[in-house]
Amino acid sequence: MPYRLKHYAQPVNVDARSRIDVFLLEFSVCLITGGMAYWARDVELRLFFGCLIVSLICLVLTLHNVYVIGKALRNKYKADKVAEPLNNKTNK
């Protein structure tokens, strides 16, 4: 019996841990390409602009990811604050 491959993308569970991992990855790529752009500014103009564009895109994605993480944490904090009075009433 042949082995069956799943041809379609499987759902991915996205949690805060993976968002932080993505943040670190994007920020690392931003720093590396920013350093390459700084090094290439006098050597090769095309390489400078290519690295600069990639670095700026990664920086924007990093800032967006920080916003998403902050929003998720704020919503979690609000949900905990709303549930707290309900828990106090039921315990009395």
What is the token pair recorded at 3? 């082995």
Alpha helices in 11-44 (DSSP H): 16-40
> How many C-beta atoms surround the C-beta of residue 61 within 10 A?
17
Q: Model confidence at 17, in pLDDT bands (50, 70, 90)?
A: low
> How many C-beta atoms surround the C-beta of residue 50 within 10 A?
15
The alpha carbon of 49 is separated from its chain's Cα centroid by a whole number of angstroms, namely: 24
In tens, the pLDDT along 37-86 reads 999 988 888 999 999 999 999 999 999 989 988 888 888 777 777 666 65
